[in-house]
């Protein structure tokens, strides 16, 4: 069970939606070079071994460029039985590197000069710079079946025509644990165990993925055992608590809390959309952050089990102490809010709300998704801001609106969002090369459009540096800059919740960078 129907089954970047995407569901049907285990360590998936730095499989050249070599496992085939070959990776790269699809600026595709089939079983990637994550390329930069898509790619009159090919949806052919059997739009996707799966045939022979947008309905389905597992964003923390309470007396199921979630507020910097314009004043942003009661969020949403966030990086990383010393912090302090708003030219009116010297009410919009915990989060944020004098207007997006990437990127003021906790995922959220615009089909998680040359320099250095100590320093400096400029307001660290009935054996918690279905082929059903 997942929270939303996917736009496509492919994990390939051209098929990804900018809105809420059931990525863990999609992974059931896909495979890439590598697969991260429960500790976040890359393991071979389609390849015999992971490239190792300073060996023939991972060579850094004298000019700073790189070459990495990936040897495919023998006898691999697509879900339709056609053999997988190195040339399929060339097509995958060519498609991802085509600017018309709006993702050519992303990673790793923009760092690749060429992809070469050394022989039918060997793929060579030539990089235009060093890239420390060349050992963990997954299905989002993987192969595409030439026997299905090569002609369509060459002959399509437009990018839209290619993306409308039935391959991406009802005729999908992949390499993952399950092959598509049936897709009933609006209801379910059915898959069958793939005999040729690179990690062995899945132990569960058939699956059906249903789409349940209401988290309370998802709880009811699990308790009735009409559904056996909920993944992706289907459940919030509060639904996990309900299931834990109901299941515990009879050992009827398990709730897995994966510490892989940052919640944050992103501000709109694209001036054609920013309203009110006062948000562009750093003093106003400082006032807003000082009036966020993060403990109230943690207590109200996570029963006190989460942790307020002063920065994007979680406390568990080895260099967190350096970040903690470097960043500027904004503890909950409504008095500081009054001070900063006054410096920006605002005073509190008769009803306590801030108004400008011209008498204009400061009333920014806070946009969120109308689903369970996010709706409650919006209410708590809005309440604390209003009590501090910020006349917040809440707007909750419907499921259909949430799937509209343009709508999600053109909010006027403030919008809440999620992030996983892997380093590259965190940094790219406000990288200028990742701004969502019409030119790139509104792809990109920098929906606010923040641009800062120094931050971009740190980001580019981070993704091109192989030395771990230097990368730690770059990450620390980037977090320091974010805390000073406040393009985003970190709120709290929480959990991705996965819940399954007792009859399903195998799902585990996972470290940042992993996902719940990483070992789905080994899951078992026991009555």
CB count in 10 Å sphere of residue 480:
18
Domain stop point among 141, 163, 185:
163
Based on the structure, what is the number of domains in the chain? 2
> pLDDT tens digits, residue range 273-290?
999 999 999 999 999 999
Residues 286, 434: one domain? yes
Res 253: pLDDT: 97
Range in 97-101, 156-160, 424-428, 454-458 with the lowest mean pLDDT: 156-160
- If residue 60 lies in a helix (H) or strand (E), which one and from where to where? strand 58-60
Alpha-carbon distance of 370 to 397, in angstroms, equals 5
- If residue 427 lies in a helix (H) or strand (E), which one and from where to where? helix 423-428
Alpha-carbon distance of 515 to 23, in angstroms, equals 9
Within 8 A by CB and 6+ apart from 438, the residues are 406
Provide the mean pLDDT of the chain: 93
- Give the model's confidence band at 18: pLDDT under 50 very low, under 70 low, under 90 confident, else very high: very low
Q: Which two tokens stand for residue 464?
A: 């091109």
The range of the structural domain enclosing residue 474 comes to 261-495
Position 15 pLDDT exceeds 70: no
Alpha-carbon distance of 148 to 150, in angstroms, equals 6
Position 20 pLDDT exceeds 70: no
Alpha-carbon distance of 155 to 366, in angstroms, equals 44
- Give the model's confidence band at 291: pLDDT under 50 very low, under 70 low, under 90 confident, else very high: very high
Q: Is 420 contained in some domain? A: yes
Rg (CA), the chain: 24
Alpha-carbon distance of 57 to 231, in angstroms, equals 35
Residue whose entry in the numeric block shows the structure tokens 């060429």: 114
CA proximity to 444, closest of 238, 285, 266, 282:
266
* For helices 294-302 and 237-247, angle between their N-to-C axes, nearest 10 degrees: 30
Residues 156, 266: one domain? no
Q: Is 214 contained in some domain? A: no
Cis peptide before 276 (omega within 30 of 0): yes
> pLDDT tens digits, residue range 326-360?
999 999 999 999 999 999 999 999 999 999 999 99
Within 8 A by CB and 6+ apart from 125, the residues are 67, 68, 69, 70, 112, 114, 115, 116, 134
Residues 321, 438: one domain? yes
Residues 159, 265: one domain? no
Range in 42-51, 397-406, 495-504 with the lowest mean pLDDT: 397-406
Query: Are 216 and 223 within 8 A, CB to CB?
Result: no
CATH number at residue 485: 3.10.105.10
Q: Is 180 contained in some domain? A: no
- Give the model's confidence band at 139: pLDDT under 50 very low, under 70 low, under 90 confident, else very high: low
DSSP-based three-state secondary structure for 40: coil
Position 464 pLDDT exceeds 80: yes
By DSSP bridging, strand 414-419 and strand 365-369 are parallel
Alpha-carbon distance of 523 to 211, in angstroms, equals 21
Position 19 pLDDT exceeds 60: no
Res 435: pLDDT: 92
Q: Is 402 contained in some domain? A: yes
Query: Are 212 and 221 within 8 A, CB to CB?
Result: yes
Q: Which two tokens stand for residue 146?
A: 């030439």
51, HSE (Cβ side, Cα atoms, 13 Å): 25
Tell me the average pLDDT across 239-256: 95
Q: Is 519 contained in some domain? A: no
Residues 151, 270: one domain? no
Question: Looking at residue 17, what DSSP letter applies?
Answer: -
Range in 82-86, 440-444, 491-495 with the lowest mean pLDDT: 440-444
Query: Are 402 and 369 within 8 A, CB to CB?
Result: yes
**If you write DSSP's letter for every residue of 346-372 in order, what string do you get?**
EEE-TTS-EEETT--B---EEEEESSH
Position 40 pLDDT exceeds 80: yes
| % of residues, the chain, pLDDT over 90 | 76
Residues 127, 274: one domain? no
Residues 282, 413: one domain? yes
Res 261: pLDDT: 87
Res 101: pLDDT: 80
Domain stop point among 163, 195, 213:
163
- Give the model's confidence band at 374: pLDDT under 50 very low, under 70 low, under 90 confident, else very high: confident
Position 396 pLDDT exceeds 50: yes
Position 232 pLDDT exceeds 70: yes
Alpha-carbon distance of 437 to 405, in angstroms, equals 9
Q: Is 244 contained in some domain? A: no
Residue 239 burial by CB count (10 A; 0-12/13-18/19+): exposed, middle or buried? buried
Res 102: pLDDT: 67
- If residue 160 lies in a helix (H) or strand (E), which one and from where to where? helix 159-163
Position 519 pLDDT exceeds 90: yes
DSSP-based three-state secondary structure for 207: strand
CATH number at residue 104: 3.90.76.10
Q: Which two tokens stand for residue 119?
A: 């022989």
By DSSP bridging, strand 354-356 and strand 346-348 are antiparallel
Q: Is 518 contained in some domain? A: no
Position 17 pLDDT exceeds 70: no
Position 123 pLDDT exceeds 80: yes
Q: Is 247 contained in some domain? A: no
Q: How far is CA 390 from CA 58, 204, 381, in A?
A: 54, 53, 11
Most distant CA pair in the chain, distance: 76
Alpha-carbon distance of 477 to 487, in angstroms, equals 15
Res 16: pLDDT: 55
Res 14: pLDDT: 66
Domain stop point among 163, 180, 196:
163
Tell me the average pLDDT across 108-116: 93
Residue 143 φ/ψ, nearest 5 degrees: -80, 160
């Amino acid at each position: 069970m997942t929270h939303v129907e996917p736009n496509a089954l492919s994990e390939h970047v051209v098929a990804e939606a900018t809105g809420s995407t059931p990525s863990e569901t999609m992974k059931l049907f896909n495979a890439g070079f590598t697969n991260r285990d429960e500790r976040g360590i890359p393991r071979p998936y389609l390849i015999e071994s992971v490239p190792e730095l300073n060996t023939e499989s991972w060579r850094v050249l004298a000019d700073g460029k790189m070459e990495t070599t990936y040897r495919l496992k023998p006898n691999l085939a697509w879900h339709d039985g056609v053999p997988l070959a190195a040339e399929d990776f060339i097509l995958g790269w060519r498609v991802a590197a085509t600017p018309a699809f709006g993702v050519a600026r992303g990673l790793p595709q923009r760092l690749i000069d060429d992809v070469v089939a050394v022989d039918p079983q060997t793929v060579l990637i030539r990089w235009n710079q060093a890239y420390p994550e060349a050992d963990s390329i997954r299905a989002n930069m993987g192969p595409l079946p030439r026997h299905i898509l090569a002609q369509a790619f060459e002959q399509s009159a437009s990018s839209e025509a290619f993306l409308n090919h039935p391959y991406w949806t009802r005729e999908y052919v992949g390499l993952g644990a399950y092959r598509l059997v049936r897709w009933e739009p609006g209801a379910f996707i059915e898959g069958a165990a793939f005999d040729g799966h690179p990690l062995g045939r899945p132990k569960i022979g058939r699956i059906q993925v249903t789409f349940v947008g209401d988290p309370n309905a998802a709880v009811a389905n699990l308790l009735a055992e009409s559904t056996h597992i909920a993944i992706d964003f289907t459940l919030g923390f509060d639904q996990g608590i309900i299931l834990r309470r109901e299941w515990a007396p009879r050992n009827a199921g398990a709730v897995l809390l994966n510490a892989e979630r940052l919640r944050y507020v992103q501000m709109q910097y694209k001036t054609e959309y920013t309203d009110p314009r006062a948000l562009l004043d750093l003093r106003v942003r400082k006032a807003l952050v000082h009036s966020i009661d993060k403990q109230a969020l943690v207590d109200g949403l996570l029963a006190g089990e989460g942790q307020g966030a002063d920065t994007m990086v979680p406390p568990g990383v080895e260099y967190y102490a350096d970040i903690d010393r470097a960043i500027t912090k904004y503890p909950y302090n409504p008095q500081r809010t009054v001070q900063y708003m006054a410096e920006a030219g605002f005073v509190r009116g008769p009803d306590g709300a801030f108004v400008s010297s011209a008498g204009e009410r400061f009333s920014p919009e806070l946009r969120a998704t109308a689903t369970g915990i996010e709706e409650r989060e919006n209410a708590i944020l809005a309440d604390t801001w209003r009590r501090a004098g910020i006349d917040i207007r809440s707007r909750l997006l419907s499921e259909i609106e949430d799937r509209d990437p343009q709508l999600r990127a053109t909010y006027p003021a403030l919008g809440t969002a999620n992030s996983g906790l892997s380093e590259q995922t965190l940094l790219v959220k406000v990288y200028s090369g990742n701004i969502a615009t019409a030119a790139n089909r509104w792809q990109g998680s920098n929906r606010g459009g923040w641009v800062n040359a120094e931050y971009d320099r740190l980001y580019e250095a981070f993704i091109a540096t192989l030395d771990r100590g230097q990368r730690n320093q770059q990450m620390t400096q980037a977090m320091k800059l974010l805390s000073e400029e406040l393009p985003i307001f970190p709120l709290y660290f929480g959990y991705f919740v996965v819940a399954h009935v007792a009859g399903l054996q195998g799902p585990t918690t996972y470290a940042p960078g992993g996902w719940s279905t990483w070992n789905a082929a080994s899951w078992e059903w026991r009555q």
